[in-house]
Structure 1
Amino acid sequence: MSDITLVAPVDLDAELDRLAQRYSRAGSGAVDLLNVIGGRAEGLLDRLPQQARTGLQEATRKALEQAMKVAHGSRGVVPDQKGWLNTVVGTAMGAAGGAGGLPTALAELPVTTTLLLRIIQGVAVEYGFDPASDNVQFDCIEVFAAAGPLSHDDGADLGFLSARMTLTGSAVQTIIARVAPRLATVLGQKLAAQAVPVLGAVAGAATNYAYTSYYQEMAHVHFGLRKLAIEADVPVEELVARLRSRIASRAVT
């Protein structure tokens, strides 16, 4: 008699509740961040000089392209780190970037983008996905399409999980071009926060803490749903709708 391995059924409700908790936790550091820098997230971009605002989208696109090359290439040299350590490193980088105001914050931007992408890739590995594959690279960049910690919007930014594109040789460049405008707004808020006079390193540390924590949690939501769709044989779109409903219920209560 041959041995048969029984696979326990997936508890969809329990898994979706767990992911809803992660999603709700993602932007939890943003309130503290805004308390540190003062004001509202909506007005942060207005604090940037016009020249910086004008070149932000192109700078973001270049930062993403550089991050894809460096983050993937570094995987064979530097292993993935624990979540808490990623947050510590990101916070320290933010402090250094904010110490010199806008010039050092701009210089730190591609470095932080690379760190965030490495963190997202590491989460993908946790869920059994290969970050070297084209579709997972696509997914890693798509995580950046989320609204960002200063623009938390009760599930609306889960739309990127339902969006799919035909994967071709230029697919990564295509998705970078599509994601860059939204990420530019998110990173523009980060730059403006780091450029706050007097606070400098404190604002930079708080900013990177919020951003590192946010994208780490959003990566767990993203790849958790992808894995759940495979294990439960349920379309991702259906899972996204059910998760969004849970998040909306949490917001009401």
Structure 2
Amino acid sequence: MAQKHRSPANPQIFPPLNREAELDRLALKMRTASGVGIQLLGLIGTQAENLLDMLPAPARAGLEKATAAALEQSFNAAQATRKGRVADAPDWLSRAISVGTGAAGGFGGLPSALAELPVTTTVILRAIQSIADEHGLDPALPEVRAACLRVFAAAGPLDDDDGTDLSFLTLRLSVTGSAVHGLITKVAPRLAIPMGQKLAAQTVPLIGAAAGAATNYIYTSYYQDMARVQFGLMRLGAQTGEDMETLSAALKQRLA
């Protein structure tokens, strides 16, 4: 049966939310999203703060361009799978697929890790679109497509700011389809740093496959959590009538 068309964050799809309880829940999700990352990277013997230094200079220089290209490819591929009615995968399956691609990418060092980058980005973006749908948003609408991309503007899972970077939540959501490329160029520099950390971990001699699997699990889990914060606030705003700036400020107070 065809899916019913929905407007962004339709408040009628879900029962009324308790504003304060929902903000507390979202703050907890932001605070705990990256905790497992450092632990997993420690298990494979990689120091998170030194990961980018492990990349060759040419790779570091071209990282932003490679990340933007990966986002461009991934955005189109992820959207195509939804148009093809490929069923949304549960969280655990998206993470499992990401683990497999990460292991394969890390097996051959930097060249295979770079080749794997668009594949993993597609898996993560497809998972983000599924979470938008889960929150009553239509991923086919331009403003929701833009919000899916903006999730990638969140601080990476190895960032040490304790989840207080909320700029990805407060950006305007009125981007049309023609402006998606411009949005990608704005998001790519922010995404390049965590993706560089991921690539560096995958180039660790002997344990590149294990590092690729572990970092892909970390990144997929992290961006799934950030998507639930983004779309959770959008759903709450649809019910309360508050804008994203107001709700994000209230969320930041809880994280302070």
TM-score when normalising by structure 1: 0.91
Partner in structure 2 of residue 219 of structure 1: 227
The gaps in structure 2 that reach 5 residues or longer are 1-11
Partner in structure 2 of residue 251 of structure 1: none
Aligned partners of 1:101 and 1:149: how far apart in 2? Answer: 22
Partner in structure 2 of residue 246 of structure 1: 254
Q: Compute the displacement of 1:132 (Å).
A: 0.9
Instruction: Letter of the 2:32 partner, please give it.
Output: R
Report % sequence identity: 55
Q: Which of 19, 33, 40 is the equivalent residue of 1:12?
A: 19
Partner in structure 2 of residue 30 of structure 1: 37
Q: Which of 88, 96, 118 is the equivalent residue of 2:96?
A: 88
Aligned partners of 1:161 and 1:24: how far apart in 2? Answer: 15
TM-score when normalising by structure 2: 0.90
Contact 2:143/2:173 (<8 A) preserved: no
Quick check: 1:64 aligned with 2:78? no
Contact 1:70/1:114 (<8 A) preserved: yes
Instruction: Letter of the 1:122 partner, please give it.
Output: S
Mapping of 1:90-109 within 5 angstroms?
A: 90-109=98-117
Q: SS at the partner of 1:240?
A: helix
Partner in structure 2 of residue 149 of structure 1: 157
Contact 1:194/1:203 (<8 A) preserved: yes
Aligned partners of 1:121 and 1:169: how far apart in 2? Answer: 16
Instruction: Letter of the 2:249 partner, please give it.
Output: A
Deviant stretches of 4+, over 6 Å: none
Contact 2:41/2:214 (<8 A) preserved: no
Aligned partners of 1:53 and 1:77: how far apart in 2? Answer: 37
Q: Compute the displacement of 1:21 (Å).
A: 1.9
Q: Which structure is larger by alpha-carbon Rg, 1 or 2? A: 1
Contact 1:29/1:209 (<8 A) preserved: no
Instruction: Letter of the 2:41 partner, please give it.
Output: L
The gaps in structure 1 that reach 5 residues or longer are 249-253
Aligned partners of 1:136 and 1:152: how far apart in 2? Answer: 28
Contact 1:155/1:247 (<8 A) preserved: yes
Q: Compute the displacement of 1:170 (Å).
A: 2.7
